[in-house]
Amino acid sequence: MRFDRENGVVTSKYTVIAGGVGAARFLRGLAAAVDPSSITAVVNTGDDGWINGLWVSPDLDTVTYTVSGAIDTERGWGLGDESWRVMESVGRYASVRPDGSSAANTWFNLGDRDLATHLYRTARLREGASLSAITDEIRRAWELSLRIVPMCDQPVATLVDIVDTDGTERRVSFQEYFVQRRHGVPVRDVHFDGAADAIPTFLPDIDSADAVVIAPSNPIVSIGPIRALAGVDAALSARRNSVVAISPIIAGAALKGPADRMLIELGHEASVVGVARLYAPICSTLVIDQRDTDSVARVEAEGLRCVVADTIMSSLDVARALALTTISAVA
């Protein structure tokens, strides 16, 4: 809660723990529901990495592009009105490295318009700027009022132990699992490389927020890296009464991505109850979809209050309504 002495206005503060698509849609709804400058989006950077010589931060960009209304809504990632001239040309360099492996990444598509963002971020990283500072510059370039902060300025890599298509167990980067293998292989374990040494910059934003929202993102690989940073779970549990999560699992399935399979493969339940168990230590309230109404009692048995809402953000109106329901639940 902030009191503006000059105008005598009391403003609430909202901190949103965010992954990619689902979180971005929620943030767009929240920015339409409340003063955008009262929102801080803390975004997963475990999916970040070097692609074709550029540092790519998929979740940060999905949030920026979605809140701007510039995202390609059909594809779900990248910019609308996009072209692919650069990627088409990268193919020439796919197999010229002596060992036959490919420095030219031809499976992670970067659109021509989108590439400008990666070029800018990479150029600024080379200059020694922090990812936080760069992210704020990109936010201003898109004329957004909400704050967008990477979960940390140090590189953290989400690594996935998979059983590969050839039957071999392999540890691969998140993008090698998610994009290159289209998350079509079993997952044995997940690691957040570098998380122990990374410093979360947003702990004050948890302490001072009127409501902390855990967005409807993959609990393991989107929210997981943020929770893996030192002090985050402690900060959240200290504010547990003000922390509300939205279940990314609806009627036992993820709307998008592998969250449902991944939960099962890692020994959890792919249901709102499974989500409730994962979040119970840090979160007092879970928003579940209306299709899961019959699970309310089981969620509450895990020690969380349960709120039922339409969580399928098929329009900005639904997202705004969900945002209002969510923050009201802990306000």
Chain residues binding a copy of itself by CB under 8 A are 50, 52-54, 83, 85-93, 96-98, 103-105, 112-127, 129, 133, 137-138, 140-142
Least distance (Å) from a copy of itself to the CB of residue 230? Answer: 29
Q: Report the alpha-carbon distance of residue 100 to residue 105 in Å, rounded.
A: 13
Q: Report the alpha-carbon distance of residue 251 to residue 241 in Å, rounded.
A: 26
CB-based contact 226:17 (threshold 8 Å): yes
Q: Report the alpha-carbon distance of residue 259 to residue 265 in Å, rounded.
A: 10
What DSSP string runs through 168-234?
A: -EEEEEHHIIIIITTT-S-EEEEEEETGGG--BS-HHHHHS-SEEEE-SS-TTTTHHHHHTSTTHHH
Q: Which is nearer to a copy of itself, 62 or 295 (CB)?
A: 62
Least distance (Å) from a copy of itself to the CB of residue 63? Answer: 17
Least distance (Å) from a copy of itself to the CB of residue 97? Answer: 6
Q: Which is nearer to a copy of itself, 11 or 102 (CB)?
A: 102
Give the CA angle between residues 65, 239, 275 to the nearest 5°.
Answer: 65
316 exposure class (CB count in 10 Å sphere: 0-12, 13-18, 19+): middle
Least distance (Å) from a copy of itself to the CB of residue 47? Answer: 18
Least distance (Å) from a copy of itself to the CB of residue 66? Answer: 16
Least distance (Å) from a copy of itself to the CB of residue 176? Answer: 15
Least distance (Å) from a copy of itself to the CB of residue 42? Answer: 21
Give kind and range of the element (H or E) at residue 108: none
DSSP annotation of 155: -
Q: Which is nearer to a copy of itself, 10 or 96 (CB)?
A: 96
Q: Which is nearer to a copy of itself, 50 or 266 (CB)?
A: 50
Q: Which is nearer to a copy of itself, 47 or 114 (CB)?
A: 114
Q: Which is nearer to a copy of itself, 50 or 165 (CB)?
A: 50
| Integer CA distances (angstroms), 118 to 42, 51, 134, 277, in order | 19, 9, 11, 37
Handedness of CA 307, 285, 63, 90 (dihedral sign): negative
Q: Which is nearer to a copy of itself, 125 or 324 (CB)?
A: 125
Residue 51 in tokens:
């692609």
Residue 4 in tokens:
């503006």
Least distance (Å) from a copy of itself to the CB of residue 274? Answer: 39
CB-based contact 219:262 (threshold 8 Å): no
| Integer CA distances (angstroms), 242 to 74, 111, 248, 300, in order | 34, 39, 19, 17
Q: Which is nearer to a copy of itself, 93 or 193 (CB)?
A: 93
Least distance (Å) from a copy of itself to the CB of residue 92? Answer: 5
Q: Which is nearer to a copy of itself, 2 or 140 (CB)?
A: 140
